[in-house]
Structure 1
Amino acid sequence: MHNLISDYLGEILDDVRDHVDGEIPTYITSLTKADPDWLGIAMCTTSGRVYEAGDAEVLFTIQSVSKPFIYALALQECGLERVLDVAGMEPSGEAFNELSLREEDKRPLNPMINAGAIAVNQLINGEDSSVEDRVDVIFDFLSKLAGRELEMDEESAVDELEKADRNLSIAHMLRSHDVIVDAAHDAVDSYTRQCSALVTVRDLAVMSGTLANGGVQPVTGEKLLDPEVCRQTLSVMSSCGMYDAAGRWMARVGIPAKSGVSGGLIGMLPGQLGIATLSPRLDPAGNSVRGVDVFEDLSTDMGLHLMSTEHRTGSHAVRSVDRSGEDTIITLQGVVTFTAAEEILHKLNSLDFVSERVVLDVSRVIDSHSMGRRMLKEQLQRIREAGYDIAVVDPDAELRGRQLSDGSQIPLAEDL
């Protein structure tokens, strides 16, 4: 059977594919080589399962999407108080490359704008570190987050450094206020190489999933960060990650996120999953136009908004699997959210059905999200298409109707 969640992600991409607003940035030569029609998405649950659709394996430079990860690394290495010495955590309300500092202490407002990111970069491996050693530490960390060895786009790094006048101005400003101690050119060189890591949206989804998972890489199981570091990073992302569009983003999408000028966009729901998209055309705020549209659709469909009060969180959705009789009976319980439904689907896909009929018992389900119900029905339809009879036990009509997408009805077990 085709994977239901990957198919759904593909449908989301199709819904926004004809959105052609926005422009590819031209101030970095390497970015102009991107195909404006690239469109990819990947999702990684905290259980380590990855789903993807579209151009999920296209390599592109990470750019500003690296900022939250390096901020987390600095927090892990130096602690919060030391990091706060060089960058605050308040939204700036300005463009990402604005030459501005807090009036009271001449520090960058947050680590998600260039000034703050350059300052935070200089903490990695100690302020006395050489550029080469610092970059090695950064790439080693990013590679562990991704679960594979990442490479640098050397051509992009050289090109960006040649045109880094604004970032050099920022670095000189930071140095003049003793925020950084390294030479301005070396500081920008180190930061530029950080932004030149080559990634895919699959990489970014797994990396985001690590922050959502309290610092444990969900695929490899390696503990890379403390939970407190992840909480701090996600908190700053929630208010500062989308630059001067951060307020609109939190109101409409409601999950911590970070964008980059190469068209990458990441988001994560704490304790549940990480998501990444790629679409190179940007809006005036520097965010991917179709990426924002995709996240808005996902947030609405899946009920991902952090501020949502519509549904309670459930866990251990599969209560039991009974294969002792003529039927295979899967009993569910609790609240069926998207993440609960994903666990159910994973369980169903792992079962070896030995009976001719599969019965889904939802009599113990106390609440459900529309996306969760949709996923359950679609999975039952696919089980039937695989050659099995299906039925449900649903005395309280929790599924809100038994019609499937092909127009047929799921039989009630008691009617058979």
Structure 2
Amino acid sequence: MDQLIPDYLADLLDGVRDNNEGELPTYIPILAEANPDWLGVTLCTMDGNLHSAGDDDVEFTIQSVSKPFAYALALQTLGLDAVSEVVGMEPSGEAFNAMSLEEEGNRPDNPMINAGAITVNQIINGTGSTVEDRVEVIREFFSRLAGRELEVDEVAVEGEMAGADRNLSLAHMLRSFDVIADEAHDAVLSYTRQCSIKVTIKDLAVMAATLANGGVQPVTGERLLDEEVCHQSLAVMASCGMYDAAGRWMARVGIPAKSGVSGAVIGMLPGQLGAATLSPRIDVNGNSARGVKIFEALSKDMGMHLMSTENRAGSQAVRSITHNGEETIVKVQGLVNFTGAESILRVLSEYDFEDGRVVLDVSNLIESNKMGRRMIKEAMRRLRDEGHDIAVIDPDSELKHRLMDDGEQIPLKK
């Protein structure tokens, strides 16, 4: 039972595994040496449950996926007005490393492009901070977001600084307009060290879930950010997080997201989950080619699109578990989307069913989507395969013919 969602995620990975689109980035040595076949996905729910498949324990440098979290830290410590004085929040319409600023005010367009990210990095811990102190504040905050101690990859820093001419040019431009105060080299070193913090997709899914959860880290329960900070960060990610492909991303996937040249993509469905993928081959827009495909499938299957008209409720889906003779009756309620079905699966997997029949009562469901129904029917199939008789109370045909993946039909309780 516990493997139901990981099995679904593994099927997603298999669906994109033969896709060889994109290339490893060659301008950062450690990324050019990455295994192009790495492939993984992790989901983290609002109550801290992680579901993974593939290469979920591989460590890699966070790169540009660090940008929304650094932006959130700056907003939390300095406030929106102060941060908005030095960086905007509009899509730039240009490449992520473009040498450009707003025509009025000389600010970088947004914190998701390199000029904006360098600027945001420079105001964390105060403009007079040393590189070491600033990076330590960022590393410590990222560690609390992830729920474990994260480290900077010093080899990655050295290799990236050796070829940092473009970012150095950006820093000189920012200094020339008095946007940043540090020497260009120190500014780029600080930003590069931020991007060289090592993470896994499990870390990133939990970090993403923290933003989706209004600033409460779902595993530790620690409040790290105000809700308003999360709203702002998610909004900017929604319009700017996927670079030149941001418009297509919102049309096809429809959730706030951020990509990085290490091959990671994170996404958040507010109030429901955080997700992260890893696949190192990068497309022409700077996004993971297979990662984009995985998120497109997740959005379609789970109804994740923010513009979807589906109800978003789904917590407390199991109303009660009672016994009637040799029957155990599980009553579910409300909306069963992915979040609701995940809650039902967790209860079913943890409950010690005795011999006899397991009856699922769905008569109190308000609504269910395709993914929720699929997960419930698969859970019943697995209970059957574990040796239980199964049945369903479904007066309104909510489970749509009650067909399980193996073609068998869940019998109605008589």
- TM-score with structure 2 setting the length: 0.98
CA distance in 1, matches of 2:196, 2:18: 29
Name the counterpart of 2:94. Answer: 94
The 5 Å alignment of 1:13-412 reads 13-311=13-311, 313-412=313-412
How far residue 311 of structure 1 moved from its aligned partner, in angstroms, is 4.2
CA distance in 2, matches of 1:131, 1:277: 30
| 8 Å Cα contact 1:278/1:291 also seen in 2 | yes
How far residue 312 of structure 1 moved from its aligned partner, in angstroms, is 5.2
Moved over 2 A (4+): 310-316, 323-326
CA distance in 1, matches of 2:236, 2:325: 53
- Specify whether residues 221 and 312 from structure 1 end up closer, same or farther in structure 2 by C-alpha distance, changes over 3 A only: closer
Question: Gaps (5+ residues) in structure 2?
Answer: none
Q: Tell me, what secondary structure is at the counterpart of 1:122?
A: helix
| 8 Å Cα contact 1:212/1:271 also seen in 2 | yes
How far residue 323 of structure 1 moved from its aligned partner, in angstroms, is 2.3
How far residue 336 of structure 1 moved from its aligned partner, in angstroms, is 0.9
How far residue 3 of structure 1 moved from its aligned partner, in angstroms, is 1.4
How far residue 324 of structure 1 moved from its aligned partner, in angstroms, is 4.9
| 8 Å Cα contact 2:318/2:331 also seen in 1 | yes
CA distance in 1, matches of 2:222, 2:33: 35
How far residue 293 of structure 1 moved from its aligned partner, in angstroms, is 0.2
Q: What RMSD over aligned residues (CA atoms) do the two structures have, in Å?
A: 1.0
* Amino acid aligned to 1:228: E
Q: Tell me, what secondary structure is at the counterpart of 2:402?
A: coil
| 8 Å Cα contact 1:328/1:355 also seen in 2 | no
- TM-score with structure 1 setting the length: 0.98
| 8 Å Cα contact 1:253/1:299 also seen in 2 | yes
Q: Tell me, what secondary structure is at the counterpart of 1:258?
A: strand
* Amino acid aligned to 1:393: I
Deviation digits for residues 337-366 of structure 1, max 9, x if unmatched?
111111111111121112411100011112
CA distance in 2, matches of 1:285, 1:296: 16
Q: Tell me, what secondary structure is at the counterpart of 1:172?
A: helix
CA distance in 2, matches of 1:268, 1:2: 23
CA distance in 2, matches of 1:290, 1:107: 33
* Amino acid aligned to 1:65: V
CA distance in 2, matches of 1:324, 1:210: 41
How far residue 319 of structure 1 moved from its aligned partner, in angstroms, is 1.5
CA distance in 1, matches of 2:190, 2:200: 22
Q: Percent identity among equivalent residues?
A: 67
- Specify whether residues 312 and 147 from structure 1 end up closer, same or farther in structure 2 by C-alpha distance, changes over 3 A only: closer
CA distance in 2, matches of 1:368, 1:358: 21
| 8 Å Cα contact 1:311/1:369 also seen in 2 | no
* Amino acid aligned to 2:396: D
CA distance in 2, matches of 1:379, 1:404: 9
Deviation digits for residues 255-305 of structure 1, max 9, x if unmatched?
000000010100011111000000011110100000000000000000000
Aligned length: 414
Q: Tell me, what secondary structure is at the counterpart of 1:401?
A: helix
How far residue 178 of structure 1 moved from its aligned partner, in angstroms, is 1.1
